[in-house]
A and B are shown apart, each in its own frame.
Chain A
Amino acid sequence: MREFLLLDLPMVASALLALIACGTLGNWLVLRKESMTGDAVAHAVLPGLVAGFLVAGRHSIAAMFTGAAVAGVAAILLAGWIRRSTRLDPGAALGIVFTSFFALGVALLETQGARQIDLDPNCVLFGALETLFYVPPASGSWFEGVPREFWTLAAAAGIAVAFSLAAFKELTALAFDAEHARVSGIAPRWLEPALLCTVSMVVVASFEAVGSLLVVALLACPSLIAAPHASRIGTRFAISLGAGTAITVAGHLIAAYAPRALGTQAALNTAGMIATLLAAAVPASFALRALLNRRRA
């Protein structure tokens, strides 16, 4: 029990906070047909993050956030500008920008002393969930032993939920008929940039702990799992977060206990396991819907 509280709980709780943060905003992105924007932002924030680290040191969350958020928003704006001014197709514009940003980040990381800021390219992709455990502090109150990433993720989840609730009506209008929402003035002009900024902030916060792979999966998959079962947007949020929670916990348990059960020493990557299960659940969810429909008919 004690082992579970110290080792498993912080990891699972962090992954669940990342799910709340990314899954909530992901619903808006998926409805707007912008699932791959999440992928782009998740890669593009890297140079900003590394620059923040290099300039202000490991523990300056403010510098890290500012750098990463600036890089994320800059990448999306740059891709949009390239698309408009060159008539390249959106995928190509996005592809060039985010691979270049990511390459710059990896280059900075590798050449500027990665160990010094202890973040390595492998963690950038696949996260460092396995390193988030509770270290009971020698003195002081209990919460000083909680990993820093946990609080960052909690803040991100709070921001994502608060933003979605505060602008629920406007975001819904924007998601279902962007043109109408803009023209009729239901959605104010600042809403789309605000959504983009919130997405990049949440991506940055999640990125460090769960890695770019799981960020992409968390943004797109929960909403798509809910898609065949929900006609109302509130229901869709509820199903996506509920199913996401179950899958995240399952992913962690499999990654942590399956090798032990099979009697091997292998340590499986938790973020990868959760991402795989989330993605596999999308077609499974559609198949379940088809099955339920057939039974009813």
Chain B
Amino acid sequence: MGGNARMSQGPTDALPAANTMLVLSGCALFGAVAGAVGSFVLARRRALLADVAAHASLPGVCLAFLAGEALGVGGRTAWLLLAGGAATALLATWCVPQLARLRGVGPDGALAVSLSFFFGLGAVLLSAIQSHDSAAQGGLNHLLFGSAAATTRSDLVMLAVLAAAAIAVVALLFKEFAAIAFDEAHARVLGLPVRTMDIALLALLVSTVVAGMQVAGIVLVVSMIIAPAATARLLRGSMPRVVCTAALLGAGSAIAGVLLSLRYESLPTGSAMTLCAGAAFLAALPLAPLLVPRAGAPAGGATP
């Protein structure tokens, strides 16, 4: 399957090169949202669930592609691909706690099983699509590792809509998220709907993943959720400060990644972004001990 993996027909509504600024701002927006959402994902210890959600969007994207072809709206319709990806990603995150409840499976086994099932299904569907030579499949290959250069206008519109919605939700529910992230038991006593908030966070996570799929790629999009937030948590501070730092770091890594991948054409955008975000984490690592009070530091990392 390696041979036909490199077909790259030009996307139908490709952006001219002059619109680099547009692509850059879209990616920066995605990075900021990923950082902000990631702060809460990490606080709830859901980093690897985010990995599973991202991988699990592949079968949904492929099914949406096939559905689009069958319905005659064109396989590469941005909203359809995103909706499909979001559906299977949500299904996979729903499966994880169900599997974890089985005796002897545990949280780690549940993640591995869910990942294998959904990503495996995605691999089968993707190979079927690739062998079924369709002119419209261009761009689907980019979804694995991301390509800012192949971003279409409709991709950017979808990204902006999802990012704006995610920012609105984070702003609206900030207090509740922060309270639950800081001390779940305490939040329960206060009467906060922890379960509902977790579902809301999951929905945010999945929207972030599918929004970033085109630029960062399904395989590595999770690093933009984990790394900037982890860096911000290293530097500590109050929850609003952690979220803002993570958003800034996310936007910075995304911009740097896009610029690198536009400069070196063969470098996939997802890899470039991940390496930038990882480098920022490495750079912050030696700073962390200076900023952490040795004794009496809160175990969770962030204080409300």
A and B pair up: yes
Q: Which of A160-168, A197-205, A269-277 contacts B (4 or more CB under 8 A)?
A: A269-277
Judged by a CB distance under 8 angstroms, whether B120 is at the interface is yes
- Encode B265-297 as 1/0 by CB contact (under 8 A) with A: 011101110110110010001001100000000
Judged by a CB distance under 8 angstroms, whether A52 is at the interface is no
Q: Which of A39, A99, A100, A279 contacts B120 (CB 8 A)?
A: A279
- Encode A93-132 as 1/0 by CB contact (under 8 A) with B: 1111001101110110011000000101111011010110
Q: Which of A265, A276, A278, A283 contacts B124 (CB 8 A)?
A: A276
Judged by a CB distance under 8 angstroms, whether A194 is at the interface is no
- Could you tell me the distance in whole angstroms from the C-beta of A282 to the nearest C-beta in chain B? 5
Please tell me if the beta carbons of B113 and A221 are within 8 angstroms of each other in the complex.
yes
Known interface pairs A38-B112, A264-B132. Does A217 touch B271 (Cβ–Cβ under 8 Å)?
no
Q: Which of B123, B227, B299 contacts A213 (CB 8 A)?
A: B123
Judged by a CB distance under 8 angstroms, whether A187 is at the interface is no
Judged by a CB distance under 8 angstroms, whether A41 is at the interface is no
Q: With the chains together, A99 CA to B103 CA distance in Å?
A: 30
Q: Give the secondary structure class of B's interface.
A: helix
Please tell me if the beta carbons of A269 and B124 are within 8 angstroms of each other in the complex.
yes
Q: With the chains together, A94 CA to B42 CA distance in Å?
A: 12
Please tell me if the beta carbons of A125 and B123 are within 8 angstroms of each other in the complex.
yes
Known interface pairs A89-B47, A110-B271, A228-B104. Does A99 touch B2 (Cβ–Cβ under 8 Å)?
no
Q: Using Cβ atoms and an 8 Å threshold, which residues of chain B touch A103? A: 220, 223, 270-272, 274-275, 278
User: Please, which residue of chain B has its CB at the minimum distance from the CB of A217?
Assistant: B116
Q: Using Cβ atoms and an 8 Å threshold, which residues of chain A touch B285? A: 82, 85-86
- Could you tell me the distance in whole angstroms from the C-beta of A97 to the nearest C-beta in chain B? 8
Q: Using Cβ atoms and an 8 Å threshold, which residues of chain A touch B116? A: 213, 216-217, 220-221, 275-276, 278-279
- Encode B1-36 as 1/0 by CB contact (under 8 A) with A: 110011000000000000000000000000000000
Q: Using Cβ atoms and an 8 Å threshold, which residues of chain B touch A278? A: 116, 120
Q: Using Cβ atoms and an 8 Å threshold, which residues of chain B touch A286? A: 102, 105
Please tell me if the beta carbons of B131 and A121 are within 8 angstroms of each other in the complex.
no
Q: With the chains together, A102 CA to B129 CA distance in Å?
A: 25
- Could you tell me the distance in whole angstroms from the C-beta of A252 to the nearest C-beta in chain B? 12
User: Please, which residue of chain B has its CB at the minimum distance from the CB of A215?
Assistant: B116
Q: Using Cβ atoms and an 8 Å threshold, which residues of chain A touch B50? A: 95
Known interface pairs A126-B127, A216-B112. Does A267 touch B45 (Cβ–Cβ under 8 Å)?
no
Total number of A residues with any Cβ neighbor in B under 8 Å: 69
Please tell me if the beta carbons of B2 and A128 are within 8 angstroms of each other in the complex.
yes
- Could you tell me the distance in whole angstroms from the C-beta of B132 to the nearest C-beta in chain A? 6
User: Please, which residue of chain A has its CB at the minimum distance from the CB of B95?
Assistant: A283
Q: Using Cβ atoms and an 8 Å threshold, which residues of chain B touch A107? A: 267-268, 271-272, 275
User: Please, which residue of chain B has its CB at the minimum distance from the CB of A227?
Assistant: B104
Q: Which of A100, A121, A267, A282 contacts B223 (CB 8 A)?
A: A100
Q: Which of A39, A99, A221, A271 contacts B220 (CB 8 A)?
A: A99
Please tell me if the beta carbons of B1 and A122 are within 8 angstroms of each other in the complex.
yes
Q: Using Cβ atoms and an 8 Å threshold, which residues of chain A touch B160? A: none
Judged by a CB distance under 8 angstroms, whether A35 is at the interface is yes
Q: Using Cβ atoms and an 8 Å threshold, which residues of chain B touch A217? A: 112, 116, 120
Known interface pairs A267-B127, A279-B114. Does A94 touch B109 (Cβ–Cβ under 8 Å)?
no
Q: Which of B42, B51, B145 contacts A106 (CB 8 A)?
A: B145
Q: With the chains together, A272 CA to B270 CA distance in Å?
A: 22
Q: Using Cβ atoms and an 8 Å threshold, which residues of chain A touch B119? A: 213, 272, 275
Please tell me if the beta carbons of B145 and A130 are within 8 angstroms of each other in the complex.
no
- Encode B120-134 as 1/0 by CB contact (under 8 A) with A: 111110111001100
Please tell me if the beta carbons of A268 and B226 are within 8 angstroms of each other in the complex.
no
Please tell me if the beta carbons of A265 and B132 are within 8 angstroms of each other in the complex.
yes
- Could you tell me the distance in whole angstroms from the C-beta of A103 to the nearest C-beta in chain B? 4
Told that A100-B281, A126-B126, A268-B127 touch, could you supply 19 new A-B pairs with CB distance under 8 A? A36-B48, A92-B47, A95-B226, A103-B223, A103-B272, A106-B271, A111-B264, A120-B6, A122-B141, A126-B1, A128-B2, A213-B116, A220-B113, A265-B132, A267-B1, A269-B123, A272-B123, A273-B120, A276-B116
Interface residues of A (CB under 8 A from B): 30, 33-36, 38-39, 82, 85-89, 91-96, 99-100, 102-104, 106-107, 110-111, 118, 120-123, 125-126, 128, 130-131, 213-214, 216-217, 219-221, 224, 227-228, 255, 259, 264-269, 271-280, 282-283, 286
Nearest 10 interchain pairs by C-beta: A272-B123, A275-B120, A100-B278, A279-B117, A103-B274, A220-B112, A217-B116, A276-B120, A99-B223, A269-B127
26 intermolecular pairs with C-beta atoms under 8 Å apart: A35-B108, A36-B111, A85-B288, A85-B289, A89-B47, A93-B230, A95-B223, A96-B230, A99-B222, A110-B271, A120-B5, A125-B123, A126-B127, A213-B119, A216-B112, A216-B115, A220-B116, A227-B105, A265-B131, A267-B128, A268-B124, A269-B123, A272-B124, A274-B120, A275-B117, A277-B120
